[in-house]
Every structure is written in structure tokens, then in C-alpha cells.
Structure 1
């Protein structure tokens, strides 16, 4: 059995290498590749995707997993060996249901669609992207049909990124969160508006990038195993546990854009860098789910990065970088500016209180599109109506509306957005648990010390990789199921104080 397990590990290592090259090709496409390379890159991604899929679905992999089935039962459930077999079986049983030709075809469509989306955004015209998006919806439905037996058509698509989180669990959780958030947004926005003029001055790009790197190094992002580059839509990407990269984008007229996207992506990257190095090259060497992953980016970006304790340490340093712009601005003014709550159009720019309303809307649209209740051609109008209902504003054009996110145009429809709000909910839950274990964390942050929090996260979340599901991690950490209450306590406490509610 030890030899069969070693054989399995060698096979998944080879598959992991191919997936890493796929990721590298996408990273290049999103950062440095000239636009003329788009057609060839689509073909290359399709070829690599097909080869990787064929290797994962090789009958020899299935036979190894079958041979190891009884051995797995003899192992402790939380052992690394059992986790490796379990995680590989999950990947294999999904992949074997999808024909290789479909994978190759879908990869090519996704790459083509991404290039068209960039042009549609540039031209501010949804009609440019609509035919491709209609094809994406067809592909997404076809993909879901390879997995019969699910309660909802979106369930198998969600399961790719958030295993064990079906629509029947997410929909009521999101409905309750929306029910509590809308009156909170209304109560805050009825208060006098907070000025964010201090962060909307001119801040040179190079200085912003240098300060952002200083911050994330202090938080614990290891630049010997990572780097940062510029892109249109920030993301984190991993080629190995020794090469975990992040990207950002800069607005010289808004200090928040690059700084908080840098911290956000570094949160993702620190999770990956904290995974047990013995898991390298296996299915265990990745995050538990998109929700758990997002919990780390949002925890570091918002709960830590927008806290008063964080800025008690970093604000004097920021003032030294931008003395003309911020030298005469007091900390309280700056703190209120970076935590300003307002009804806004862009999800990635949204504040903590309104952000989830953007996400829940997208999740609901995915369900409507997949169920056939909403046609792709009607999406812009549906977008405007829902934005008006939930946030009281309407996008004036496609670029600030239905074209703002790349997800549907570069991946699929279904399972693309729920992880963001699940991540916010989990960020509040995990941080509250960390504070119970280490009440000294806030006072340490005021001194620029983040090691205690990072070590707690590493011990309880990061090092396990994908050995446990999100629900299992929550149970291990809190002793109970996932709930929105810690997150809502955090929001009400912080913003109740800020806005005098």
C-alpha cells in the first residue's frame, strides 16, 4: 500500500506540474503578453488543459484509488495520507465525468471570451461580449449536466470551488445576510456623508507600490517565494508553494485602490505560502475552498488592514511617504476616509458594509441564468433594476455595470461569486476565534506585530491546505457550524462606532 500511495503521488505531481504551467500561461496573458498573442494562447491553454485532464482521468489513477480504498479506511481521518487519497479521489471522480474534448473546447472558448471581454470593456459595449457570454452559459449548463443527481443545476458548479456548499445552504444564508445588511446600509447612509478627499489626491504610482510592498512584507508575505506585478484585474496565482505571485492595479488619484488590493491578494498568498511544504505537488497543496481562501484576503484587507490598530502603526509611515498630501491630515480623518460607506457601482471598490450586496446580486443572477429565468440579453437591465433596489443607484453604462467583473467572461456562469461573501462571513468567524485564543492581537498590531495572528491562522487553517473542507475547519475551530453572527457583530460594532448608530 505504501508503494501504491507513492505511485499515486508521482502521478498527481505530474498533473500538478501541467496545471502550474497552465497557470503560468494565464498569468502571462493577464500581465505581459501582447494582445497579438491571444489566439495562440487560447490554443495553448486548450492543449495543456486537455493533456492535464487526460492524465488525471487515466484509468490507472482510478485503479490506484480503488486499491487504496481499504487502506484509507485504516488510516486516521486527519492523517496526511488519508487526506491525500481523499483529495485525489474528489478530483478524479469529478474529472472522469467530463470528456477531454469538452475540456479542450471550453478552455479555448474561455480564453477567446476573455480577450473579447477586454475589448467590450474598452468599447463600453455589452453587445460585443454577449454572444460569447451566451456560449459560456451553454457550456456551463453542459458542464453541470455531466453531474446528475444534484438538487440544483448550480450545485456541481459551486462544488468545484466551494465543496459541500449547495444552493440549499447558501441561498438562505445569503437571504438572511441581505435582510440584515440593507437596513444597516440605509441607517449609515442617512448619516452625514464622510469625506474621503484626503485619499483622492495625486499619489505617484511608484511610491504607492513601494509602500504596499513594505506593508505586506510586515504582514508576512514572503517575497523570496513571491512577487507583485500589474494587471487589469488583481489576482493571486500559485505555480508552487515556493512561487506564489500577486498582482495589483494603481489609481494615482485614489490611494485605496493599489494599497488594499495589494493587502487583499497578499492575504490569499500568505495562505498558500503557509501550507505544509510536504504537500507540494499534491491536491492537498491548495486552499480548502474559495470561501476559506477569500476569508483570508478579506481578513487581512479589512479586519486588519482597515482597523484603527493597524493604522496607529502604519499611518505615520504613510505620512512620511506622502508628506505633502497627508502630512496635515490627522489619523481620525484618514481612518474614516478608508472606511467610508457609500452606495457605489463597482464591487471591487465597495466598502465592507455594501460589498456583500454586490456579491449576493451576482449569485442570484447566476441561479436565474442557469435556471432559464433570465436571458443573457436581459442581464444589463436586470443589473440596473437590482442595483437600484438594493443600493439605490443605477450604472450609467456597461463598463460600470455588467462588464465590470471578468469571472463570467473568463471562466463560467455558476460558482463564481459565492466564495466572496462566504469568505467575509468566515473572516469574522475566524478572527473572533483568534481573538478568543489571543486577546493581545489588537495591541500587537498597534506595534506593527502580526506574528501571533499569522501563526494562529497558519496552525488552524493554512498548514492544512485542502485536507479539510470549509465546514470541517469551522467545526474544528469553533465547535459548531458556520454562522453569519460573528461577522455581523464585527460590522455593527465597527460601523456603529464610526457612524454613531
Structure 2
């Protein structure tokens, strides 16, 4: 039985962690505002505000009294079932504390202020195709990324940065997965390239922004995004933000001659948001109230965007509504033609525009380039050239501008170099593995999707994944849900079956 005299200590722990969570939530709100509605003139002050709050949060997280409290709770933790809420809370809080005390609060403030300034520089440099403007910021980001990694040590520079987002993962664990996947994908891309190409011209007519946004809102509502606990706004680079389980917001960007862009980016961000909205209320304001890892979080956005959103069953329900909204543009386009159009495989320059077959090649390029920068074999000044050479090698394309090349993704300009991009590919693999398991467990899920009913899938995801938050590691959750560790097979089988049909190939 738990030790009664330690209950007050557990209450104190929750209070301390709640205060830290509240500060971090305000920081997230300031970031959201900066990327949506903040006037440009607020940039300098915003950087200072975020840095101040980040330093306060870090000081609270590294308070020796918190460390002592976590040590005092060890007997209580040992008396509980290992996966109980209280035991998980204590264990995760201790892990976070032990990692945080390695990093000076002053560094966190300095990093946060730089990231805010770097984002503003990128937001101006990207549309102006001006890499030179942001290069000094990126060089400082690289220095700060290395400095952060140095506080932890590790076999490779990137390992501590990867562990920040995916506990238990390392460069050595990720590289073989990427190598195997790349070997499997390149022949598929080549085979599809040799087949008669899909006509996607129906997607590139004029589609009014407001009409798109209205249709998208209906889709998100039907899928289960709770607008009473969220909202959608426009930004330069789509993202999702959680300030509490009751306030999870998404953003998008709209292109009036690319119907699929805002639609699928919105479904993608909704996948992130529904994960956070589906957390158990018992986890609120604790370190458990977030996704298992970046990779698992990405699995949920990619599951809804691709395995559901680009499926035939999904459009059995939604295409008549879309066709009715855009009757002039789609009146003569059948649902089969539209399905093929949104699944067209074609090497492209932009990661977020990429199809399911080529997408992971974009991620691998970024992963390799950031490792090279961290290891000192690639300078920031040479990054645009290296980027273009790798795109030529892997995708047969060379960006004509840095806007469509090295400036396209916000990650290095608002975060760190290293520790995130790998999660997009791992997320694709995990999504396929989860979805395969869901359908095996409940074969009625695809039938319901064709009828426009997504409750069955949502309930399955909430029960097996969402509600647990961060209680389990990626590996633990995979084994708990699917009965095995990470596998390439579900994703590759899905790709071969789907695109073999679309392109009439035996893949």
C-alpha cells in the first residue's frame, strides 16, 4: 500500500509541476501569437518576454527542492503499480529534472531569445529568397545546438537532441532504419516514374480561399476536432499548439491554385490536435499531458492525413460535398479521378507537398544534412549548395530558389539543428503499424469511414494511444498497442498495395 505520510509530498509535486506547466503554456501562447497575429514591431520584445519566462520555468524545474522531493517520493513510487498515474508522474518528472539540471537557466533564456529573433529573420528571408539574411542566425543556432548537446554528452553530437523529442532513440538506432527504407523506396519511385502519369490538373484550378476554409472546417468537425476546445488560423508554416487539454489550436496556409495544400495540412495538424484533445483529463497540467514522443505525435497527424484522408473510403463520403462546393471546377471530375489526383506520385521540391512515396526521401535529406552540420563536416554557408546537390541525387530536382530549398522549413529557424526531422519518417512508419493493428482489431473501421463515421477509429486511438499521454516510451507504446517493436513492413505493404493499384504496377 502507498505510504500515507507521503501523500502531501505527492500533492506538493503536482503543485510545483502545475506551475511549470502554466509558464510553459504561456510561452506556447506567445509563440502562437508570434506566428499568427503579432505585428512585426513586437518581435524584439517578444523574444525578451519568451526568454524571461523560459528562464523562470527552467529555474523552477531545476530547483533543488524539487529534486529532493522526487527523491523523497521514491518509496511511494516503488509501492505503486509501475504504470499507475502517480508512479508514471514521479518517474517522468524525475527524468525531466535530471535532464534539466544539466542545462544552465541562463542558456535556456539565451536560446529562447535567439529562437524568437531567428524566426522573425526567417519570416522575412523566406519570401525574399534571401538566405544571406538568415545565415548568421542559423550559424548561431548551430553553435547553440552543439552547446546544448555538450551538456549531456553522448556517442554522437545529435544523440541528446534526438532524446529531447524521442526518449531512447539515437543516431545509431535511426540510421539503419533510414538506410533500409531508402533502399526500398528508390526502386518504387523509379517504377512509378516509368508508368503512365496521373493527371492532377483538377487540383490546380482556382479555388477561393474562403470556400476552401469553409469546406475544411466541415471536414475537421466531422473527423472529430473539437472547435469548442480549439480553433484554426492562418500562418506561414502550419503547426498545432496546446495550451491546455481544453485549448488546442491549429493553423494552416491556403493556396488558391492548389486545392490539396490547405486541406491536407489542416487534416495533418488536426491529427496532432486530436491527440492532445484526447488526453486523459487526469493528466492535465502535468508532464504527462503531451504526446509520447515527437515520432508518435507525428504518427497521429500522418495517420489522419494520409491513411484516412487520402483513402478511397474517405472520399466516398466527402467527395460529393467537395464537388458540390466547387461544382464549376470539379463537376466533370469523377471521384476516381480525384482520388488518383490527390495520390499522384511525383518528385517535388517541397517536403510538405510531397506524396507518400517520396516524402520520406525529403526527411532523410534533412536528417543527413543536420548531422553533417552538427559533426562539422558541413558549414552553414555551404548548406544551400549541399541541399541542392542532394535533391538532384535523390529526387532528380534542383531548387531554382532557396525559398523552395533550404529556407522552406521553419524548424532550423525557430528550434534547434537536430532532433526533429527524423520523427516525420518514424511517424509514417508508426502510423501504418498502428492503423494496421486498428483494422485487424476492428475490421468495421474502414466500413464506417466510407459512411462518414469516424467515431470508431477515434475511440480506438483514444483508448490505445491518446489517453496515456507520455506515460510510455515510443517502444513501450508500440509493443503495448501492436505487440511488436517498430517494423517497416506495414508501411511498405500499404505503399505497394495502394500505389500498385493506382499505377497498375506490381510493386
TM-score computed with the length of structure 1 as normaliser: 0.99
Aligned equivalents of 1:479, 1:319: Cα separation in 2: 41
C-alpha distance in structure 2 between counterparts of 1:358 and 1:277, whole Å = 37
Give yes or no for contact 2:294–2:420 (8 Å, CA) kept in 1: no
1:45 is matched with 50
Aligned residue number for residue 212 of structure 2: 208
- Retained in 2: the 8 A contact 1:408–1:416? no
Deviations 1:362-420 (A, max 9, x none): 01111111111111111111111111111111111110100000110111101020111
What residue is the counterpart of 2:290 in the other structure? 286
Distance 1:182 1:126 in 2: 30
Is residue 184 of structure 2 the alignment partner of residue 191 of structure 1?
A: no
Structure 1 residue aligned with 2:267: 263
- Distance, in Å, in 2 between the alignment partners of 1:152 and 1:113 is 26
Is the CA contact (8 Å cut-off) linking 1:384 and 1:394 kept in structure 2? yes
Structure 1 residue 126, shift from structure 2 partner: 1.1
1:387 aligns with 2:391: yes
Separation in 2 of the partners of 1:6 and 1:155? 34
Structure-1 residue corresponding to 2:11: 6
1:421 and 2:421 are equivalent in the alignment: no
Name the CA distance, whole Å, in 2 between partners of 1:479 and 1:439. 18
**Counterpart position of 1:75:** 80
- 2:462 aligned to which of 458, 461, 468: 458
Structure 1 CA distance, aligned partners of 2:489 and 2:369?
25
- 1:355-374 correspondence runs (5 A): 355-374=359-378
CA offsets, 1:427-448, max 9 Å, x none?
A: 0000000011011111111100
Q: CA RMSD in A?
A: 0.8
Please tell me whether the aligned partners of residues 125 and 133 of structure 2 are also in contact (alpha carbons under 8 angstroms). Answer: yes
Counterparts in 2 of 1:298-309, with a 5 A limit? 298-309=302-313
Aligned partner (choices 115, 127, 130) of residue 122 of structure 1? 127
1: CA distance, partners of 2:141 / 2:180 = 30
The aligned residue for residue 481 of structure 2 is 477
Q: Is the 8 A contact 2:347 2:396 kept in 1?
A: yes
Match of 2:138? 133
SS in 2 for 1:353: coil
How far apart are residue 70 of structure 1 and its match?
2.3
Which residue among 96, 105, 109 is the counterpart of 1:104?
109
Partners of 1:188 and 1:341 within 8 A in 2: yes
> Structure 2: how far apart are the matches of 1:487 and 1:461?
19
Residue 433 (structure 1) aligns with? 437
From 44, 58, 72, the equivalent of 2:63 is 58
Give the match's secondary structure for 2:233: strand
Q: Distance in 2 between matches of 1:500 and 1:73?
A: 58
TM-score, structure 2 as length reference = 0.98
1:310 to 292, 314, 336: 314
C-alpha distance in structure 2 between counterparts of 1:434 and 1:332, whole Å: 26
Alpha-carbon distance between aligned partners in 1 of 2:289 and 2:434, rounded to the nearest angstrom: 21
Alignment-derived partner of residue 354 in structure 2: 350
1:240 paired residue number: 244
CA distance in 2, matches of 1:493, 1:68: 52
Q: Which is worse superposed, 435-444 or 301-310?
A: 435-444
Give the deviation of 1:112 after TM superposition. Answer: 0.7
Structure 1: state its 5+ residue gaps. none
Unaligned runs of 5+ residues in structure 2 are 1-5
Contact 1:144–1:157 (CA<8 Å) still a contact in 2?
yes
Matching residue within 384, 401, 410 for 1:397: 401
1:260-286 alpha-carbon deviations (Å, 9 max, x no partner): 011001100000000000110000100
Q: How far 1:190 sits from its partner (Å)?
A: 1.2
Structure 1 stretch displaced more, 222-231 or 63-72:
63-72
SS in 1 for 2:430: helix
Matched, 1:182 2:183: no
